């Protein structure tokens, strides 16, 4: 390992220094010469017909430079859905146009129908108030069931509120039905996977510049994937040629999915910058973030688990309604389908799985992937119904899971939901969890809680998830409209330091530290001599960005491939310098040597030779030392884990406190354990938030009641415990060169059912016959459940 930490070292993060000293450069921290401000006029009704918009008064206001309405964007394209889903009857999903600015109708509170560009933000706000919009309010479609039954539509032109009716796997439907019909025991659970707002702490911000001299645009924007944003703007929305548009995602203050997507504000500031010939900046306030960032989850589900008399799983059958909101966000159709249905076999040898998902348009903000994206919904349904089943048949919940686990000798394992799991050992994870969480000591802790007047519960969960969605060939067949590879360029500079340009984007994940650890390990050099470049389409190769716990598994693999190419070429150069054959050159600790001799040259000497190629075999080797690789994985990676937690419930108030939370995960090989642990911590915080605190509430008129931190319950430090995180039980991924699995979402996937299972356990220990409480399990909900039990 290099002196400052290669693979496996908990190297502290180099990016921290700028964030800790206030010198990070987030989008809103930058101002351009001549910059103007954009402010949007947003609908205050959930559903309405735009009868007229009079902007003349606004245009005459001080400082106003331009006013746009939906009319200005009729000729440009819509913001597309990235994944085509076909319904069970073979019909393609409904894809109504998502315009830059609403035109004809507004479809959710916050839907932008006009925008003002002014010298200052306050002038723009003043002018927005002067826009006279005659919008006739229509009844709002908020609840999915009502929307499916309604005879009026979010999008009139499609004549339905159902986007698609998807079956997975349709050919397994009859066998699953039959297995359930003939089963010894069937456990049924109806549940809601609550709608969440991602709430990255940095609100979205987009700033556009237009250079008339060469017809070029630069967009600084809060994005997890600048190339994808550029592609969507270029190929679908504005038609700006890709070679004329640079998209830069600088320091980005968290994403959690919400900054994957292209949003209309990005297109608006670009169009406005060209029209007025000056830079245009828009920064969301938190209310706009609540109203317009893509939300997450929002499934209403019925799941059935069929078992034989011994508790062997025979079938899972799931019916889900998934809310897609008012418009299709870029991956909103993939999330409830291929990222959800394919995981519905869990960690189990169950032979029959069938999932039906109906996606529903409503007059609410668009819903898309949020940390976990489909897999939390799958895990929650499975692990809640299994827990309920264990109670119904009187079997210990850990034992019931173990009984049905896929065993280590069964890999690769073809799941009944269509995936091929490459590696894992779920019993070993459960063993480790029982050990580090001292599960054996629970009863004593329960008694201690009871002495204080509290009910204590223990909850357990086993999850598997799928990260780094791939390969492109397969996802293409399944409806994806993009490829899911990533890319890296390793540039060795003449003086021996390296710039590594990557397609993944780091907005908290620590790539600037972890990726150099990989390269340093391979080259045997100081990681401090390696810098990561990301986020700027003019500097980096075309990559698909960061989401779905893909960065290390996919982009990291591209880094490995590019570095391998560097090593191969460097060996040729070294062989020439040492007058030896390339096959005899060995690389160790940054030194190339001829095997069995003391002849050697350093990595730095080879680099210099590559750029000052005097006495260079130009006929065999090109000068320079720079290589690019694109990596398209053979399969997903399949992290898995065993989680448990203990809660206390105050029986007088219904308040739940999480007393302990243990996460034992199989992430395969780990590059930087400190960063991986931090990723799990963050996921746990969000997962506990979903289970106990967070909810997105629209009233019957489609008004968002939880539209600020005064009502949307963000987890705070005093809501959460210290966690116990363990990833000692890794089984290397078999198909990527690092043997790594995704770790970014695991905590958010594994924790919600763990917490709910623990609360149910606590209430039952108190003699209450409560079998389910929907998330978030607020004090009010827990108290109400206890009153009714």
Distance CA 515, CA 551 (A): 10
Residue 718 within binding range of another protein, rule CB under 8 A: yes
Q: How many residues bind another protein (CB under 8 A)?
A: 82
The region of 102-110, 211-219, 597-605, 704-712 touching another protein under the rule CB under 8 A is 704-712
Residue 551 within binding range of another protein, rule CB under 8 A: no
Residue 286 within binding range of another protein, rule CB under 8 A: yes
Shortest distance, position 272 Cβ to another protein, whole Å: 21
Nearer to another protein, 103 or 655 (CB): 655
- Strand-pair partners of 644: 460, 662
Nearer to another protein, 126 or 627 (CB): 126
Residue 653 within binding range of another protein, rule CB under 8 A: yes
Shortest distance, position 310 Cβ to another protein, whole Å: 37
Nearer to another protein, 94 or 550 (CB): 550
Q: Among residues 70, 99, 167, 203, which is the contact residue for another protein, using CB under 8 A?
A: 203
Q: Among residues 70, 516, 685, 702, which is the contact residue for another protein, using CB under 8 A?
A: 685
What phi and psi values does residue 554 have, to the nearest 5 degrees?
Answer: -100, -60
Residue 685 near residue 725 (C-beta atoms within 8 A): no
Nearer to another protein, 404 or 546 (CB): 546
Q: Between the CA of residue 167 and those of 91, 374, 392, what are the distances in Å?
A: 12, 15, 29
Residue 57 within binding range of another protein, rule CB under 8 A: no
Q: Among residues 132, 586, 652, 700, which is the contact residue for another protein, using CB under 8 A?
A: 652
Shortest distance, position 14 Cβ to another protein, whole Å: 9
* Per-residue buried b or exposed e for 465-480, using 16+ beta carbons within 10 Å of the residue's own CB: bbbbbbbbeebeebbb
**Residue labelled with tokens 């220094």:** 17
Distance CA 630, CA 623 (A): 22
The 3-class secondary structure across 637-649, one letter per residue, is ECCEEEEEEEEEE
**What is the biggest distance separating any 2 CA atoms in the chain, rounded to whole angstroms?**
87
10 Å Cβ neighbour count for 703? 15
Shortest distance, position 425 Cβ to another protein, whole Å: 21
Nearer to another protein, 77 or 508 (CB): 508
Q: Between the CA of residue 422 and those of 435, 506, 731, 741, what are the distances in Å?
A: 26, 27, 9, 11
Prior bond of 411 cis (ω within 30°): no
Q: What residues contact 578, with CB distance under 8 A and at least 6 apart?
A: 585, 592, 593, 594, 599, 600, 601
Distance CA 7, CA 520 (A): 8
Nearer to another protein, 674 or 732 (CB): 674
Q: Among residues 32, 393, 478, 674, which is the contact residue for another protein, using CB under 8 A?
A: 674
The region of 196-204, 295-303, 350-358, 444-452 touching another protein under the rule CB under 8 A is 196-204
Nearer to another protein, 36 or 162 (CB): 36
Nearer to another protein, 115 or 334 (CB): 115
Nearer to another protein, 613 or 721 (CB): 721
Nearer to another protein, 387 or 745 (CB): 745
Task: Indicate if the alpha-carbon torsion angle 409, 413, 415, 419 is positive or negative.
Answer: positive
Shortest distance, position 254 Cβ to another protein, whole Å: 4
Nearer to another protein, 132 or 589 (CB): 132
Footprint of another protein on residues 226-285 (CB under 8 A)?
251-254, 256, 285
Residue 287 within binding range of another protein, rule CB under 8 A: yes
Residue 192 within binding range of another protein, rule CB under 8 A: no
Nearer to another protein, 47 or 695 (CB): 695
Shortest distance, position 566 Cβ to another protein, whole Å: 30
Structure tokens at 457: 């519960």
Residue 577, SS3? helix
Nearer to another protein, 95 or 646 (CB): 646
**Residue labelled with tokens 């203990």:** 646
Q: Among residues 13, 98, 230, 768, which is the contact residue for another protein, using CB under 8 A?
A: 13
Residue 199 within binding range of another protein, rule CB under 8 A: yes
Nearer to another protein, 22 or 90 (CB): 22
What phi and psi values does residue 419 have, to the nearest 5 degrees?
Answer: -105, 160
Q: Among residues 330, 695, 736, 757, which is the contact residue for another protein, using CB under 8 A?
A: 695
Residue 26 near residue 202 (C-beta atoms within 8 A): yes
- Strand-pair partners of 473: none
Residue 736 near residue 143 (C-beta atoms within 8 A): no
The region of 198-206, 359-367, 401-409, 588-596 touching another protein under the rule CB under 8 A is 198-206
The region of 78-86, 489-497, 625-633, 651-659 touching another protein under the rule CB under 8 A is 651-659
Shortest distance, position 635 Cβ to another protein, whole Å: 28
Shortest distance, position 459 Cβ to another protein, whole Å: 18
CB neighbour class for 732 (10 Å; exposed up to 12, middle 13-18, buried from 19): middle
The distance of Cα 773 from the centroid of its chain, to the nearest Å, equals: 26
Footprint of another protein on residues 726-765 (CB under 8 A)?
747
Footprint of another protein on residues 82-141 (CB under 8 A)?
122, 125, 129
Residue 593 near residue 524 (C-beta atoms within 8 A): no
What phi and psi values does residue 274 have, to the nearest 5 degrees?
Answer: -70, -45
Shortest distance, position 513 Cβ to another protein, whole Å: 10
Shortest distance, position 711 Cβ to another protein, whole Å: 5
List the one residue out of 658, 695, 682 whose CA is nearest residue 774: 695
CB neighbour class for 49 (10 Å; exposed up to 12, middle 13-18, buried from 19): middle
Shortest distance, position 373 Cβ to another protein, whole Å: 16
Distance CA 415, CA 466 (A): 12
Footprint of another protein on residues 506-525 (CB under 8 A)?
507-510
Distance CA 502, CA 515 (A): 9
Q: Among residues 337, 546, 686, 736, which is the contact residue for another protein, using CB under 8 A?
A: 686
Distance CA 464, CA 146 (A): 33
Nearer to another protein, 474 or 674 (CB): 674
Residue 708 within binding range of another protein, rule CB under 8 A: yes
Footprint of another protein on residues 326-365 (CB under 8 A)?
none
């Amino acid at each position: 390992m290099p002196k400052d930490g290669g693979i496996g070292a908990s190297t502290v993060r180099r990016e921290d220094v700028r964030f800790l000293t206030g010198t990070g450069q987030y989008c809103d921290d930058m101002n351009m010469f001549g910059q103007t401000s954009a402010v949007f006029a947003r609908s205050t009704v959930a559903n309405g017909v735009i009868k007229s918009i009079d902007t003349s008064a606004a245009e005459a206001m001080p400082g106003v430079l331009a006013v746009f309405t939906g009319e200005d964007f009729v000729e440009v394209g819509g913001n597309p859905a990235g994944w085509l889903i076909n319904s069970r009857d073979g019909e393609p999903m409904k894809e109504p146009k998502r315009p830059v600015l609403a035109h004809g109708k507004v479809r959710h509170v916050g839907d932008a129908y006009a925008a003002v560009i002014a010298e200052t933000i306050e002038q723009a706000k003043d002018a927005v108030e002067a826009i006279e919009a005659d919008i006739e309010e229509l009844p709002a479609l908020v609840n999915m069931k009502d929307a499916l039954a309604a005879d009026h539509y979010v999008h009139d032109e499609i004549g339905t509120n159902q986007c698609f009716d998807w079956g997975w796997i349709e050919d397994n439907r009859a066998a699953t039905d039959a297995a359930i019909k003939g089963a010894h025991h069937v456990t049924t659970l109806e549940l809601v996977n609550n709608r969440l707002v991602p709430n990255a702490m940095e609100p979205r911000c987009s700033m556009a510049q237009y250079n008339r001299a060469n017809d070029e645009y630069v967009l600084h924007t809060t994005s997890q994937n600048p190339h994808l944003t550029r592609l969507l703007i270029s190929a679908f929305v504005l038609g700006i040629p890709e070679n004329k548009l640079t998209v830069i995602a600088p320091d980005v203050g968290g994403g959690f999915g919400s900054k994957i997507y292209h949003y209309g504000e990005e297109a608006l500031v670009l169009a406005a910058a060209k029209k007025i010939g000056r830079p245009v900046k828009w920064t969301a306030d938190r209310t706009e973030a609540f109203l317009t960032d893509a939300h997450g989850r929002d499934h209403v589900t019925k799941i059935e688990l069929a078992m034989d008399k011994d508790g062997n799983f025979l079938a899972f059958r799931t019916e889900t309604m998934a809310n897609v909101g008012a418009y299709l966000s870029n991956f909103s159709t993939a999330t409830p389908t291929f990222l959800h249905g394919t995981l519905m076999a869990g960690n189990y040898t169950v032979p029959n799985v069938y999932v039906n998902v109906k996606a529903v348009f409503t007059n609410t903000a668009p819903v898309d992937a949020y940390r976990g994206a489909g897999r939390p919904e799958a895990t929650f349904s499975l692990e809640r119904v299994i827990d309920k089943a264990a109670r119904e048949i009187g079997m210990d919940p850990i034992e019931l899971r173990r009984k049905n686990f896929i065993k280590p000798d069964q890999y690769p394992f073809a799941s009944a939901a269509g995936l091929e799991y490459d590696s894992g050992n779920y019993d070993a994870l459960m063993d480790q969890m029982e050990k580090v969480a001292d599960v054996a000591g629970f009863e004593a802790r329960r008694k201690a809680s009871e002495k204080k007047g509290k009910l204590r519960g223990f909850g357990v969960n086993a999850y598997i998830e799928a990260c780094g969605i791939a390969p492109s060939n397969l996802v293409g067949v399944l409806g994806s409209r993009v490829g899911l590879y990533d890319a890296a360029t390793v540039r060795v500079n003449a003086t021996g330091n390296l710039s590594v340009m990557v397609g993944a984007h780091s907005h908290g994940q620590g790539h600037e530290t972890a990726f150099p650890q990989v390269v340093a390990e391979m080259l045997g050099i100081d990681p401090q001599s390696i810098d990561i470049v990301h986020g700027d389409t003019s500097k980096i190769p075309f990559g698909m960005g960061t989401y779905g716990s893909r960065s290390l598994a996919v982009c990291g693999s591209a880094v490995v491939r590019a570095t391998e190419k560097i090593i191969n070429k460097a060996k040729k150069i070294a062989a020439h310098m040492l007058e030896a054959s390339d096959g005899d050159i060995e690389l160790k600790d940054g030194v190339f040597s001829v095997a069995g001799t003391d002849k050697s040259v350093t990595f730095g000497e080879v680099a210099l030779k590559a750029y000052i190629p005097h006495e260079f075999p130009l006929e065999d080797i090109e000068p320079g030392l720079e290589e690019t690789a694109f990596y398209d994985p053979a399969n997903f990676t399949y992290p898995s884990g065993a989680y448990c937690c203990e809660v206390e419930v105050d029986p007088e108030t219904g308040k739940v406190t999480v007393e302990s939370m243990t996460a034992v995960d199989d992430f395969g090989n780990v590059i930087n354990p400190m960063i991986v642990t931090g990723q799990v911590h963050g996921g746990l915080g969000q997962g506990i938030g979903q289970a106990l605190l967070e909810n997105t509430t629209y009233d019957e008129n489609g008004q968002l009641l939880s539209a600020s931190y005064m009502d949307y319950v963000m987890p705070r430090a005093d809501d959460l415990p210290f966690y116990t995180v363990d990833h000692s039980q890794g089984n290397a991924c078999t198909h990527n060169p690092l043997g790594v699995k995704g770790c970014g979402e695991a905590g958010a996937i594994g924790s919600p059912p763990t917490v709910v299972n623990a609360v149910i356990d606590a209430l039952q220990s108190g003699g209450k016959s409560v079998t389910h409480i929907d998330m978030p399990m607020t004090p009010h909900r827990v108290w109400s459940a206890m009153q009714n039990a």
